[in-house]
Amino acid sequence: MHHAEKVLADSRLTPSARVLQAMQGQYDSSFEAFSLAQSRHLRDQLLALPWQPQQQAHYEALAGASLAQQQAIEAADTEDFETWRQQYMDPQQLG
């Protein structure tokens, strides 16, 4: 029997059922506690992966390009914030 057929035959095998079972059995039915534990577990797994200097350089370059783009956008702005805000909040803009 294929996995999908097994899941259709027994709903306890669905991912959502497994989550509910884990929440009830280990986290006092708290979704918050369950999701926090899952997040911490995934964080620990990701932090355990090796980080290469090339990866660091890549993300530093992306961050630098993003900052440069933001500065260019802000430098090209031709109106002050209050004028923009008033236009944005103008009910006639809702139509």
Model pLDDT for residues 12-59, shown as the tens digit of each residue: 889 899 999 999 999 999 999 999 999 999 999 999 999 999 999 999
pLDDT of residue 86: 93
Is-contact 34 27, C-beta < 8 A? Answer: yes
pTM score of the predicted model: 0.54
Tokens of 1: 């029997």
- At 45 the pLDDT is 98
User: What is the Cα–Cα distance from 37 to 22, expressed in whole angstroms?
Assistant: 11
State which H helix or E strand residue 88 sits in.
helix 81-89
pLDDT at 1: 65
What pLDDT, on the 0 to 100 scale, is given for residue 85?
94
**Type of residue found at 83:** T
